[in-house]
């Protein structure tokens, strides 16, 4: 097997993968957004039986390319507006090829100086880009889910340590109970993180939000006033429906006053920090104790890329550090695995490094501002039509729309049905991918812009497709 990598089949596999990737990227912008191939069909293409004998790598790649044909959501195409799914910068894609070839696993600085250096530099760059306290430490994780877990684990460490309890050593049985205040609009991954941390997804004080989905400061103040013992407050920068940011400048001083730990789930919304124009919606977020955010959403890096950021490095390490005698440490070097839940992991900082370097600070700001400008443009184009309402203040990249038939403004059930039908018809047209969802018990069409590939023309085209779908739904 010594020439495994140089063999004809291996070379052919690499070349074929590269060629197919280029072909895909050249076509994805014009590809239909209607994915007709179903999961069982893909299963049939993949073959159902575990193979007894291996095949040449190039044959496997060929089979994969065929199996994926028509079965991929064109999330990189620029007209995919469902969920907050970013595209991928070519610098990140190219780095993924190299990363895999290098088989890099940043962990032990003695063995892997390259990956460890990139990891630490990217952490510093992210603090600078997001203008968060420079003394913070950064764990590069798979995404905001793990970022939330990391922040909450650090909070648990620090809050219980202050109460005289070593949670890493003693666990939670018999520990002073932590009161958790959490937005009623919190993302499900925050509840999941609370579950992982042993704090209970349901053992929380749910804080009421305003019409945009922002935590109400008066409700936070009231809950803090009645809470006793250690307190964790979970807030959000970027509501997944409205993009709304919690009022951090009001909440943070209250948390300080009560010695509460303030965590921010800023999966996509924290990127408002890069823009003077958007930053005004997120004032005071820098006063928090921990933050979770993604790179694979607004920053348009490949997947499995996010950050858990903690102001107090001792709390961060208290929760995440690993020590084992066989994991030799190099003097003066930073071992990234001390800051994250996993030991072995891919070098996920490297594509992030490449993406930030390719864009530069100005490019990152411009990318985020452009996405948010597109969301406002969509709001203007759709709400110019009678019967179409944008239900949120478009403060970031999210807009939610509701459709009403002429003369039936009071019939909420009819508007629910029309909204779902318009959304489905627009998507099935292949022109753009929009998704229906619920907001305050009513159906809405949810629209997110998170891909640098999206152009002004794409927005015009998507708006036209949605309005055409509306005409068709009304005529049907
Ligand atoms: C996407 C998202 C998450 C989870 O992030 P992953 O990267 O999917 O782990 C958490 N919170 C919010 C608000 C999100 O949009």
Determine the Cα–Cα distance for residues 290 and 11; give it in Å rounded to an integer: 45
Closest-lying ligand 1 atom to the alpha carbon of residue 266: 13
Task: Give the C-alpha distances (Å, rounded to integers) separating 59 from 8, 16, 134, 391, 404.
Answer: 12, 10, 49, 51, 53
Is residue 248 within 8 A of residue 288, CB to CB? The reply is yes
Tell which residue, 235, 232, 190, 188, has the closest CA to residue 209: 235
| 402 phi and psi angles, rounded to 5 deg | -135, 140
- Residue having the nearest C-alpha atom to atom 5 of ligand 1: 144
Dihedral sign from CA coordinates of 144, 149, 155, 158: negative
pLDDT of residue 3: 57
Of 265, 305, 308, which is best to mutate to test ligand 1, by the most ligand atoms within 8 angstroms of its C-beta? Answer: 265
Give the separation between CA 401 and CA 378, rounded to whole angstroms.
10
Please tell me the distance between residue 189's alpha carbon and the centre of ligand 1 in angstroms: 7
**DSSP class of residue 267?**
T
Contact predicate 191/166, CB 8 Å: no
Contacts of 332 (CB under 8 A, 6+ apart): none
Q: Determine the atom of ligand 1 nearest the C-alpha atom of 269.
A: 13
- Please tell me whether residue 312 adopts helix, strand or coil conformation: coil
Domains observed in the chain = 105-346 (3.40.640.10), 357-475 (3.90.1150.170)
Model confidence over 35-68: pLDDT tens digits? 889 999 999 999 878 999 999 999 999 999 999 9
Taking the C-alpha atoms of residue 453 and residue 427, their distance in angstroms, rounded to an integer, is 19
**Per-residue pLDDT, 35:** 87
Q: What angle do CA 267, 207, 196 make, to 5 degrees?
A: 55
Q: What is the mean pLDDT of each run of 10 residues along the chain (476 residues)?
A: 71 95 93 89 92 94 96 90 89 95 85 92 98 98 98 98 96 97 97 97 96 98 97 98 98 98 98 96 97 97 97 96 64 86 94 98 98 98 97 98 92 97 96 96 97 97 98 95
Please report the pLDDT score of residue 333 as a whole number: 82
Which ligand 1 atom sits closest to the C-alpha of 236? Answer: 13
User: Best of 270, 294, 298, 305 to mutate for ligand 1, by most ligand atoms within 8 A of CB?
Assistant: 294
Q: Which residues line ligand 1 (CB under 6 A)?
A: 84, 143-145, 187, 189, 238, 240, 265, 267-268, 294, 306
């Amino acid at each position: 097997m010594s020439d495994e990598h140089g063999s004809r089949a291996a070379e052919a596999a690499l070349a074929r993968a590269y060629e197919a990737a280029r072909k895909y990227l050249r076509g994805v912008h014009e590809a239909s957004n209607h994915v007709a191939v179903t999961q069982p069909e893909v299963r049939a293409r993949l073959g159902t039986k575990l193979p007894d004998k291996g095949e040449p790598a190039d044959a496997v790649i060929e089979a994969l390319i065929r199996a994926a044909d028509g079965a991929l959501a064109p999330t990189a195409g620029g007209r995919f507006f469902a969920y907050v799914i970013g595209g991928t910068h070519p610098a990140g894609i190219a780095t993924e090829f190299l990363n895999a070839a290098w088989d890099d696993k940043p962990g032990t600085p003695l063995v892997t100086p390259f990956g460890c250096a990139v990891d630490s530099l990217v952490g510093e760059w992210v603090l600078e880009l997001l203008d968060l306290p420079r003394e913070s430490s950064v764990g590069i994780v798979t995404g905001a889910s793990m970022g939330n877990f990391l922040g909450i684990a650090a909070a648990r460490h620090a809050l219980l340590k202050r109460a005289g309890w070593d949670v890493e050593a003693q666990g939670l049985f018999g520990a002073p109970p932590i009161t958790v205040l959490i937005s009623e609009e919190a993302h499900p991954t925050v509840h999941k993180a609370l579950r992982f941390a042993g704090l209970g997804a349901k053992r929380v004080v749910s804080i009421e939000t305003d019409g945009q989905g922002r935590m109400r400061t008066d409700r936070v103040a009231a809950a803090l006033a009645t809470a006793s013992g250690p307190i964790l407050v979970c807030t959000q920068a970027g509501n997944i429906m409205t993009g709304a940011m919690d009022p951090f400048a009001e909440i943070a001083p209250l948390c300080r006053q009560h010695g509460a730990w303030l965590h921010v789930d800023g999966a996509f919304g924290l990127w408002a920090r890069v823009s003077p124009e958007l930053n005004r919606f997120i004032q005071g977020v820098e006063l928090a104790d921990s933050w979770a955010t993604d790179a694979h959403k607004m920053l348009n890096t490949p997947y499995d890329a996010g950050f858990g950021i903690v102001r107090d490095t001792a709390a961060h390490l208290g929760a995440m550090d690993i020590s084992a005698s066989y994991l030799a440490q190099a003097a003066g070097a930073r071992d990234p695995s001390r800051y994250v839940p996993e030991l072995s992991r891919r070098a996920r900082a490297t594509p992030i490094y490449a993406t930030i370097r390719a864009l530069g600070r100005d490019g990152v700001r411009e990318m985020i501002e452009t996405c948010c400008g597109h969301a406002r443009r969509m709001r203007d184009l759709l709400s110019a039509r009678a019967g179409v309402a944008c239900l949120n203040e478009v403060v970031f990249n999210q807009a939610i729309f509701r459709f009403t038939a002429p003369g039936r403004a009071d019939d909420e059930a009819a508007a629910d049905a029309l909204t779902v039908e318009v959304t489905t018809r627009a998507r099935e047209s292949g022109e753009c991918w929009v998704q229906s969802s619920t907001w305050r018990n009513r159906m809405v069409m949810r629209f997110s812009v998170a891909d640098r590939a999206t152009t002004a023309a794409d927005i015009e085209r998507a708006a036209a497709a949605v309005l055409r779908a509306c005409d068709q739904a009304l005529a049907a």
